[in-house]
């Protein structure tokens, strides 16, 4: 099957953009594979889940059903960290709930002397992160650890903590169609979506050196409640960062 035939089939199923991305990734494709991809597109499966690839902060990441696909909104978090750190100054990073590893990988690629630990309670997600760390030649900078927000134990202190935790309330009907194919463990949190923030606020402050920072992605309309939670546990609010849509997307605290 030639590329024009494949493009036509995929376009009819998922539109021009989806067809272009898939055919650029797969220059040759069998008849059966083309129709299978078209079937997935009609079901609403995101293109990244089909081709197992998503670009984030100028880097290509492997992705599958065990992790969230890296999203442009999360680049706001990476940008906030890089903005605050000197490019040649080594920093020690803890990424809590790393998923695909896109956040810590993007930071380490842009701050070359930085190193860190990425934790996740999903072993399947850690396998995805391991693949991305290897593909980006970051094995000497980033180590992985199986742990939860509440039970991560280390005597080490970090300069920066980053996290894009689950923050959707169970039963929230605003979750878009694409998120149906994301792991629920990475999306939903108890206590109306704030359970993960409470666990991080309570347990992460002991892991930071004095006067250093934690950067958190938040959902729409969550900034004031997240600030209350972290201030209750002794954190000092610094600022909120907006994403490209002008929505409060990242909250920064000092220890």
The token pair at 120 is 């996740």
Q: What integer pLDDT is reported at residue 17 of this predicted model? A: 87
Q: What integer pLDDT is reported at residue 1 of this predicted model? A: 65
The DSSP-derived string for 206-224 is GGEEEEEEEEEE--TT-HH
Structural domains in the chain plus CATH codes: 3-43 (no CATH), 54-254 (3.40.50.150)
Measure Cα distances from 49 to 37, 60, 238, 254 in Å.
10, 13, 36, 36
d(CA 174, CA 169) in angstroms, rounded, equals 10
Contact 231, 221 (CB under 8 A): no
Chunked into runs of 10 residues, the chain (255 residues) has average pLDDT values of: 78 87 84 88 92 95 95 96 86 96 97 94 97 97 95 90 94 73 90 94 88 94 97 96 95 95
Q: Of 254, 219, 250, 220, which is closest to residue 236 (Cα–Cα)?
A: 254
Beta-carbon contacts of 180 under 8 Å, excluding residues fewer than 6 positions away, are: 44
d(CA 101, CA 198) in angstroms, rounded, equals 22
d(CA 193, CA 167) in angstroms, rounded, equals 4
The token pair at 115 is 């190193």
Q: What integer pLDDT is reported at residue 177 of this predicted model? A: 67
């Amino acid at each position: 099957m030639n590329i024009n035939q494949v493009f036509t089939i995929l376009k009819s199923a998922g539109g021009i953009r989806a067809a272009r991305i898939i055919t650029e990734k797969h220059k040759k494709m069998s008849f059966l594979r083309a129709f299978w991809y078209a079937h997935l597109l009609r079901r609403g499966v995101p293109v990244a889940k089909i081709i197992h690839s998503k670009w984030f902060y100028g880097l290509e990441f492997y992705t599958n059903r065990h992790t969230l696909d890296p999203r442009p909104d999360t680049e706001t978090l990476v940008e906030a960290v890089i903005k605050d750190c000197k490019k040649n100054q080594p920093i020690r990073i803890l990424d809590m709930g790393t998923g695909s590893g896109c956040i810590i990988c993007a930071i380490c690629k842009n701050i070359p002397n930085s190193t860190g630990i990425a934790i996740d309670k999903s072993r399947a997600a850690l396998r995805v992160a391991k693949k991305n760390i290897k593909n980006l030649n970051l094995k000497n900078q980033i180590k992985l650890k199986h742990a939860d927000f509440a039970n991560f134990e280390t005597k080490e202190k970090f300069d920066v903590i980053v996290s894009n935790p689950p923050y959707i309330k169970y039963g929230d009907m605003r979750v878009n169609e694409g998120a149906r194919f994301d792991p629920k463990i990475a999306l939903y949190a108890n206590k109306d979506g704030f359970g993960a923030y409470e666990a991080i606020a309570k347990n992460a402050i002991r892991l930071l050196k004095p006067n250093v920072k934690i950067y958190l992605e938040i959902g729409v309309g969550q900034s004031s409640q997240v600030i209350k939670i972290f201030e209750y546990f002794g954190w000092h609010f610094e600022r909120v960062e907006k994403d490209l849509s002008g929505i409060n997307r990242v909250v920064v605290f000092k220890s």
